[in-house]
Amino acid sequence: MIRYTLNSVEPTEASSVYSTPIDITGSTEVRAKVFEPGLQPGTTASRHYTLLGSDVANFSSNLPLIIIDTFGKIIPEGTKIRANARFIGTLGGRAWLMGAPDYDGWAGIAIRGSSSLDFQAFLRIETQDEAGGDLKASPLGFPKDSDWVLYAPYTDKTLMRDFLAYELHGRMGHYSVRTKFAEVFVDSSRGKLTMSDYAGVYVFEEKIKRGKDRVDVAPLLPSDSTEPEITGGYIIKKDRLDPGDSGFTTSHAGQLAYVEPKEQEITPEQAAWLSDWLRQFETALYGANFRDPVNGYGQFIDVDSFIDQQWIVEISKNIDGYRLSNYLHKERLGKLKMDPIWDWNLSFGNADYLNGWLTSGWYWPQVGDQDYPWFRRLFQDPDFNQRYVDRWGELRKSVLVTAKVLGRVDELAGLLNEAQVRNYQKWRILGTKVWPNWYVGKTYQDEINWMKQWIAARLAWIDRQLHAGSGLQP
């Protein structure tokens, strides 16, 4: 006998018997289980049904589509709820709400930064199995994993600053989170999906975590308490602490936070080893022989990753750069690398403070020593300075050719041109200042044109500083 529920709970012997077709008038989740006297119940199977309103029955986009259906539940801030996530990729250049999904199943959904969807919210998604555990999936063709982010580019009216920065840093030779633009619907009504559930253009992207297709460091097990195992892998960040975390400090970087292992998982031995290793690094860096190729700072850090971090912040003048969302990782027996990058919406001129709108001026002098960890000392090494300048010359002949960067902006604007119309019908902010905008264009193309002018002027300003010999830092 098949018994079922329509309210998300596990079917029991007291649940409704499936004997006639189930009438569905709104979005519904059906959970069913087989019962037979004398035997253990079968496994629970779930199916999610989203009914489309007449105004979206033929909805399509040149971007992938993502539907989040909570079946009547409100998404709280910071706390995951179970919902259904459906990812529909493009086929022949279009994605249709009625199209076949890449993934259609359980997901844990949480909002970061808001308890409502009154404005475009940042969403975290965890693909889940029937029991609520992590389920590795490959939505929209991404490498399999279970942790994802739907980034809302609400304050960035080009919709692409994060996307562009990650792409540039990836082309510089670093792991950078994979990204795809998508149009998103979020339905919490248990009714039909309509355009009132349209949430706008998002960037679907990987969450920063350990993994062979993400930050590829060795897993650090609780039993790893001696060298060489205890030497990695670690992921840490300079950022605001997550709720409940205390983080840790170093003399010259100030407060840092654990990412992997998480603070609740790292053992006292591992935390002590990492702190001591960073202390040794800072001792070498700020010691008299810091330039020594054997005993100096070079034995501790991947110098090129530090140089590229400096450049990706400075070319885009990211106002959160250095001091926030600054991730670092250390592989087992390896050196400290300053990547991947994260959270680049306050860049390419999109900030009305700390001179973020100006194409002239370095950003680094505006932040204090602990918000700009280790770099001032590194630039006291003439060899580091020279590698920094040489790297600029390499990048300007490859990744940062002005015409190439501006051409890519035009390509992305063309890709977004259809969806941005719907996005700004939903979020009527074009022509209106949204913190921290400095420039406010009347149209989407105005925003694109201004950012292109900013990028070209910024690259040219940096060229002039280095050609004049004034780009070297004190």
147 and 20 within one domain: no
What's the gap between Cα 248 and its chain centre?
23
197 and 98 within one domain: yes
Q: Tell me what pLDDT residue 422 has.
A: 98
85 and 43 within one domain: no
Q: Tell me what pLDDT residue 470 has.
A: 54
Each as own residue / partner, the long-range contacts of residues 260-265 (CB below 8 Å, 24 or more positions apart, any chain) are 260/209, 260/210, 260/215, 260/217, 260/220, 260/233, 260/234, 260/235, 261/220, 261/234, 265/222
144 and 122 within one domain: yes
| Other C-beta atoms lying within 10 Å of the C-beta of residue 15 | 19
Dig out the tokens for 198 from the structure. Answer: 């349209």
64 neighbors 202 (Cβ within 8 angstroms): no
Residues 6+ apart with CB under 8 A from 398: 171
Count of structural domains within the chain? 2
Q: Tell me what pLDDT residue 469 has.
A: 63
Q: Tell me what pLDDT residue 242 has.
A: 86
38 and 64 within one domain: no
Q: Range of 24's domain? A: 2-49
94 and 40 within one domain: no
217 neighbors 210 (Cβ within 8 angstroms): yes
Q: Which of 107, 106, 110, 116 is nearest to 79 (CA)?
A: 110
> Does residue 69 form part of some domain?
yes
The DSSP call for residue 466 is: H
> Does residue 144 form part of some domain?
yes
> Does residue 234 form part of some domain?
no
> Does residue 303 form part of some domain?
no
pTM of the model: 0.93
CA–CA gap between residue 352 and residue 346 (Å, rounded):
9
123 and 40 within one domain: no
The kind and range of the H/E element at 223 are none
> Does residue 462 form part of some domain?
no
233 neighbors 217 (Cβ within 8 angstroms): yes
| Other C-beta atoms lying within 10 Å of the C-beta of residue 471 | 18
Q: Tell me what pLDDT residue 74 has.
A: 85
194 and 84 within one domain: yes
75 and 202 within one domain: yes
Q: Tell me what pLDDT residue 232 has.
A: 94
| Other C-beta atoms lying within 10 Å of the C-beta of residue 136 | 12
| Amino acid of residue 276 | D
119 and 25 within one domain: no
What's the gap between Cα 50 and its chain centre?
28
> Does residue 441 form part of some domain?
no
> Does residue 185 form part of some domain?
yes
85 and 44 within one domain: no
103 and 190 within one domain: yes
The kind and range of the H/E element at 178 are none
> Does residue 219 form part of some domain?
no
Strand extents, DSSP E, 336-446: 336-337
**Sequential pLDDT tens for the chain (474 residues):** 999 999 888 999 999 999 999 998 888 999 999 999 999 999 999 999 999 999 999 999 999 999 999 988 888 777 889 999 999 999 999 999 999 999 999 999 998 753 334 467 889 999 999 989 999 999 999 999 999 999 999 999 999 999 999 999 999 999 999 999 999 999 988 889 999 999 999 999 999 999 999 999 999 999 999 999 999 999 999 999 988 899 999 999 999 999 999 999 999 999 999 999 999 999 999 999 999 989 999 999 999 999 999 999 999 999 999 999 999 999 999 999 999 999 999 999 999 999 999 999 999 999 999 999 999 999 999 999 999 999 999 999 999 999 999 999 999 999 999 999 999 999 999 999 999 999 999 999 999 999 999 999 999 999 999 987 655 553
Cβ burial of 187 (10 Å; 0-12, 13-18, 19+) is: buried
Q: Tell me what pLDDT residue 474 has.
A: 39
CA atoms within 13 A on the CB side of 432: 8
